[in-house]
Amino acid sequence: MKKFFKKEKLNKLIELARTKKYSAPKLAKKFRCDRKTIFRILKDKEIMLPNLGRFKKRIYCNEKFFKKLNKISAYWLGFIAADGVLSLRDKSVLICLSEKDKKHLYKFKKAIKTNAKIGLIKSNRSAHIGICDKDLFESLVERGVTPNKSLSIKKVKFPQRLSSHFIRGVFDGDGSISGSDISHIQLMIAGNKEFLEQLQDILIKNCKLNRVKLYRLTKGNAYKLQYTGPQIFKILKFLYRNSNKNMRLDRKYTKYLIFKRKFKADALHAAILDYENKKRKNI
């Protein structure tokens, strides 16, 4: 660290590193220090260097993305827990979506800073992105996301202050809202029973809900957490608070806004009818 005691020299290093035109060996040579010093300083500034050497890594990403969570990484942790695949064989992370949600994969690609390509499969109209990175893989496993089977996930580790972002990711990955009138609308999230119990505890605490029974979907480990009626808007309000377009699935957010407008109008119409009926009775 003595090499960079002077502020001017430290600022110059950071400036050059951010251009992505210098590798660690080049910067070490330029500033007359070892590579470990370069990596240590830039790690504190959360700056990643490209590998410009002979054995350049073909696919790169921010492998520390899930190490220290923020709103965006907590969202993607939830999304992968619900709808991602971790392969133990090659330490890879795969997300596969319907082709109509392809834009969502570009959001993930931008968030995790990867050059991995998004592939399309015409036969089933799907889009996918896969990243083989041991550090990224292991950071997800450490948080409780299990390889191969999403239904084997029991509890995932994340800060409670980020719970709305995490559950929104789960909802976007394996949840739905449906219904045609206010008394029959429902919100549903599928998953492992113990994992859904973790989510329900958070929703009860933050949305003032009653505990509901989890129903089995199949003979395996798949269960569903389901709430019905107007209370689903308390849940959705909690899920979408402090969110932005980079950490929500456009299709489901649009549906939420449509439902919100529709049932707000329905409630107003019902109140007017009720008022008119009472008025007639008093005549």
- Tokens representing 114 are 């990867």
Query: Got the DSSP string for 224-252?
Result: EEEEEGGGHHHHHHHHHTT--GGGS-HHH
At residue 3, the pLDDT reads: 47
Count the helix, strand and coil residues of the chain and give each as a percent rounded to the nearest 5. 55, 15, 35
At residue 276, the pLDDT reads: 56
CA–CA separation, 170 and 85 (whole Å): 14
At residue 1, the pLDDT reads: 47
CATH no. for 71-240: 3.10.28.10
At residue 71, the pLDDT reads: 97
Question: Tens digit of pLDDT per residue, the chain (283 long)?
Answer: 444 557 788 888 888 888 888 888 888 888 888 887 888 888 777 787 776 654 455 788 999 999 999 999 999 999 999 999 998 888 899 999 999 999 999 999 999 999 999 999 888 899 999 999 999 999 999 999 988 665 678 899 999 999 999 999 999 999 999 987 777 889 999 999 999 999 999 999 999 999 999 999 876 778 999 999 888 999 999 999 999 999 999 999 999 999 888 877 666 555 555 555 655 666 5
CA–CA separation, 248 and 165 (whole Å): 9
What are all long-range contacts of 256-263, with beta carbons under 8 Å and residues at least 24 apart? 256/177, 259/177, 259/179, 259/185, 259/233, 260/233, 260/236, 263/182, 263/185, 263/230, 263/233
At residue 51, the pLDDT reads: 64
Query: pTM of the predicted model, to two decimals?
Result: 0.75
- Tokens representing 136 are 């990224």
On whether the CB atoms of residues 17 and 27 are closer than 8 A, the answer is: yes
Please report, for the chain, the start and end positions of each structural domain, with discontinuous segments joined by +: 2-44, 71-240
